[in-house]
Amino acid sequence: MFDQWDRLQERFDQISTELASADLPKDKRLALQKEHAVLTNLLEQNKKVQAVQQEIEDINEQMQTDDEEMIALCKEELEDLQQKLKIEQNALDDLLYPRSEHDNRNVYVEIRSGAGGQEAALFAHDLLKMYKLYAEKNGWRATVDSLSETDLGGVREAVLHIKGKSAFGHLKYESGVHRVQRVPATETQGRVHTSTATVAVLPEAKEVDVNINPSDLRIDVYRASGAGGQHVNTTDSAVRITHVPTGVVVSCQDERSQHKNKAKAMKVLQSRILAAQVEQYNSEMSADRKKQVGTGMRAEKVRTYNYPQNRVTDHQINLTLKKLDIVMQGELTEIIEGLLEKERVDRRKQSLEIFKDL
């Protein structure tokens, strides 16, 4: 692949010359300007990678000495350069093998209790707290748009809206079944139970993504309620929206205003329909394409949380950490980075469209 960088440079120079012409038709000029911008970013980033590689070679040459102090200094600098090279190479990979167009979006994280009754609901509550803390650690804004609780403080269903740079790109692999193994608070004999909760991660839809015909919607209003009589309304402020063609149903009662609840519900509805469209698109792709990262929401078990052994295992990358207590405080970085690295590896298996005509 890298023996073609010179040909990319030639193409860049050719486009630069063409763009200097005053007689270029408008449509062709726009197309060339777009290609010029892509090539500019690629070539500049490749130069950064090559510059760090050259620094590493220079340091390795300096280490060919008997001066132990010099060798120690070079080793320290070499470690920094290798880390810098990884960062620059990842940035180049992101240009060569583009990530999903949705990765920079805000995100909706939908959490539902699964098998396990009250314990599953309590675990869903713990997951909600974990994602809120992770968002805060990243400087993102997290708000609970919808919440249905149990009498014991568990969560039947919650919709967490996270606004932040690349929020969807970081959280999309959280989709699936999360399994917990621990002694429930309601267990009297100290036995370990296994319960589950499901997580669905949806990129926030934009107006242009999903075209919803108002006539396809059924909107019901009702009185909001909560566990223990929490903010019970005397007016019909809660909203339930059903998209009749797809059967997608969204409810929101978090706000006291019917208008605000409807607006929130519509945003979630659009995101769910967008996610369904992406999943359908991916399912229609070729067999080798399905093996690539980013092929949609999956229903299989993605992670196990074992409380007695303070262990968390992510089954997507076979990563086990003996610090579950820390992870549940929102320290998901090590797991998320592992998932993103797997994505980078998988993306490198894609064909490079930009080189195909060179």
Whole-angstrom distance, CA of residue 333 vs CA of residue 253: 32
The chain-wide mean pLDDT, for the chain, equals: 84
pLDDT band at residue 218 under the 50/70/90 scheme: confident
CATH number of 107-204+298-346: 3.30.70.1660
Which tens digits make up the pLDDT trace of 235-251? 567 888 888 888 888 88
Which tens digits make up the pLDDT trace of 175-193? 999 999 999 877 777 889 9
Adjacent-strand bridge partners of 199: 111, 176
- Other Cβ atoms within 10 Å of 358 Cβ, number: 12
DSSP string, 92-152: HHHHHS---TTTTS-EEEEEEE-TTHHHHHHHHHHHHHHHHHHHHHTT-EEEEEEEEE-TT
Pairing status of strand 193-203 against strand 248-252: unpaired
Q: At residue 146, does pLDDT exceed 80?
A: yes
Whole-angstrom distance, CA of residue 77 vs CA of residue 62: 11
3-state secondary structure of 261: helix
pLDDT in the model for residue 208: 53
The whole model's pTM is what? 0.67
Question: Which residues, 6+ apart, have CB-to-CB distance to 160 below 8 Å?
Answer: 108, 109, 110, 111, 128, 131, 132, 135, 142, 143, 144, 145
Whole-angstrom distance, CA of residue 322 vs CA of residue 331: 13
Q: At residue 288, does pLDDT exceed 60?
A: no
pLDDT in the model for residue 293: 28
Same fold yes or no, 107-204+298-346 and 214-280: no
* Residue entry with tokens 């080189």: 355
pLDDT band at residue 352 under the 50/70/90 scheme: low
To the question of domain 214-280 being in CATH 3.30.160.20, the answer is yes
Buried b / exposed e along 240-269 (16+ C-beta atoms within 10 A): bbbbeeeebebbbbbbeebeebbebbbbbb
Type of residue found at 288:
D
Helix segments in the chain, DSSP class H: 5-19, 26-62, 68-96, 117-137, 167-171, 258-283, 287-290, 324-327, 333-347
| Boundaries of every domain in the chain | 2-96, 107-204+298-346, 214-280
Q: Is 107 left (phi over 0), alpha (psi -120 to 50) or beta?
A: beta
Mean pLDDT for 40-45 is 93
Q: At residue 322, does pLDDT exceed 60?
A: yes
